[in-house]
Amino acid sequence: MQTPESHLAPADLRLDQVVSYWAARRPEHSVLRDAAGRTGLVWREFEAAVASVARQLDGAIAPGQVVALVCANDAPFHVLLNALWRIGAGVLLLDRHWRAAIVDDLLTLLGCDTVFADAEASVSSNLAGLRRHAFPGWQDAPALPPAAGAARGHGLDQVALYATTSGTTDNPKCVAITHRQIRSAYRSCLASHDFSTVTRCACLFDINSLGVLGVCFLLPREVGAGTRLFPSFTLANVAASWNAVLDDASDFVYLVPPLVRLINTLPARPSAGPAATLAFCSAAPVAEQELQTLEARFPVRVFNCYGLTELTFAVFFGSRSDDGLASATIGPAHGVAARLVDADGRILDGPAQGELHLSGPMATGAYLHNARATGDSWEHGWLKTGDIAERDSAGRYYIRGRQKDMVLRGGYTYYLHELEHYLRRAPDVVDACAFKGRDLPSGDELCVVVQTAAATTASPLLQWIRDNLGVTKVPNALYVSARGLPRNSNGKILRNDLSRMHLDGTLGRWVSA
């Protein structure tokens, strides 16, 4: 069931103009609330703050300029982001936990010399000439007419965001995403689900990329809904946060596989009425039984979704099974063209299994300044996702495997090649291999084996990761060895062999031999 057009912001608006639109129509409706449930900003105040900050920055930031913004879970971040869009800037989102090695690679790739960060986030960079700014204030912003400053002549095809995809490696992949592409992706979602009754959304994650920003904030704004900011979920707070989501009668919530598994261990709270919270689950498909357990224990209606940064947002939004229960499927294709291709490059018709290729108006089409990666992943407008999918006779798709090397921890994706690339920069490290270990309550176990040229221990390497990459990149297990890493006849590291030895307890003996 799709969202009625009458409940949507017009399709011909930039993202910042969506703010102006709802400020005129729902001036006193909440946009952002903190964890305690207090209203942080209503649409009228949000629009006035965006206009105020845009006026402050006008002249200092040029239309089309690339500006880096360190992510934060608060109102000043959202106000500044929309103010930069109103000026016409393209924004590069930086994870607040990234350190200089990653940050400098991205800033250099995009030629960015300006970065904004809140008072709690220091910008880790070794680049000379980098201009660092604090988030501007907007206290006592005048109450302007809601559309004031919205028409700046920079339209839907202006770049809104620069987003990294498979990490920031020696083959960096960064895409430029326009306002039109982002809003087209959200329109595809809203054609698949009815958001007309959604007014209160819950965010259980720190913003660190377009993914959380999009699903928890920008998508709900398409229907004028607000978002409540909860602490990022952990083992310690998941019970309190989930109960608060239910007590708040949130209409929409975003989940990831580790969070679903944790919630399923909590005491059940069956529905007291017909209303159920709409839940999207992404990052990786959740098993059908886990989804059905979640729905049986709590008043939620949950769908597996699938998307990639190259496609701006999710492009599959799940569907129910034939008996009406939650299903493992990511659903049929809506607003995007999908095809399955076999190992020989043949397009498969009907029920089949193969690599999933996607194309549509939200597709970015290329990686910036990286012809090699673009050639590897894009073919005549089709993105070769690297994921293996199955299509049934009803046209529903199921993700059956991933060709890409990644792990999921705490709801976030970590690319193994990225960590390996940066570890090879560490003192005395000759080679490195990262791999998935056990399934932990918080997600996948991230493990690394490094080959070193000199005798060393794991401790200084772990500290190097904290100092240069950030605490979120620290692996669960780090093995140090003077031995060369095992490789096949083509020279590829035997990642699966190292994972198997870790799981059966023999890797420690292997690295010491």
Residues 54, 51: Cα–Cα separation, whole Å = 5
Write down the pTM of the prediction.
Answer: 0.84
Least confident residue range of 7-16, 63-72, 222-231, 393-402 = 393-402
The contacts of residue 292 (CB under 8 Å, 6+ apart) are 325, 326
What are the CA-CA distances from residue 296 to residues 80, 272, 285, 290, 466 (Å)?
41, 12, 19, 10, 41
pLDDT digits (tens, 9 = 90+) for 174-188: 999 999 999 999 999
Helix (H, G, I), strand (E, B) or coil at 283: coil
The contacts of residue 177 (CB under 8 Å, 6+ apart) are 159, 160, 161, 162, 163, 210, 312, 364
Give burial (CB, 10 Å; 0-12/13-18/19+) of 47: buried
pLDDT band at 495 (very low <50, low <70, confident <90, very high): confident
pLDDT exceeds 80 at position 118? yes
pLDDT, mean of residues 387-415: 82
Answer whether 358's CB lies under 8 Å from 336's CB: yes
pLDDT digits (tens, 9 = 90+) for 285-319: 788 888 999 999 999 999 999 998 999 999 999 99
Q: Number of C-alpha atoms within 13 angstroms, CB side, residue 137?
A: 3
Residues 423, 281: Cα–Cα separation, whole Å = 32
444: part of which helix (H) or strand (E)? strand 443-452
Q: Angle of helix 416-423 relative to helix 458-468, nearest 10 degrees?
A: 110
If one counts every other C-beta atom within 10 angstroms of the C-beta of residue 400, the result is: 13
pLDDT digits (tens, 9 = 90+) for 310-358: 999 999 999 999 899 999 999 999 889 999 999 899 999 999 999 999 9
pLDDT, mean of residues 133-156: 63
Predicted local distance difference test score (pLDDT) of residue 153: 42
Q: Number of C-alpha atoms within 13 angstroms, CB side, residue 216?
A: 28
Q: Give me the count of residues in the chain.
A: 513
Predicted local distance difference test score (pLDDT) of residue 403: 58
pLDDT band at 415 (very low <50, low <70, confident <90, very high): confident
Q: Can you list the domains of the chain with their CATH numbers?
A: 406-512 (3.30.300.30)
Residues 123, 120: Cα–Cα separation, whole Å = 10
Helix (H, G, I), strand (E, B) or coil at 303: strand
pLDDT exceeds 60 at position 145? no
Closest residue by Cα to residue 406 from 395, 415, 394, 397: 415
pLDDT exceeds 90 at position 171? no
Predicted local distance difference test score (pLDDT) of residue 233: 82
Residues 377, 138: Cα–Cα separation, whole Å = 43
Predicted local distance difference test score (pLDDT) of residue 148: 43
Residues 297, 270: Cα–Cα separation, whole Å = 5
Mean pLDDT of the residues in the chain: 88
pLDDT digits (tens, 9 = 90+) for 238-281: 899 999 999 988 999 999 887 888 899 899 998 766 678 999 99
Of 10 and 37, the one with more pLDDT: 10
Predicted local distance difference test score (pLDDT) of residue 274: 61
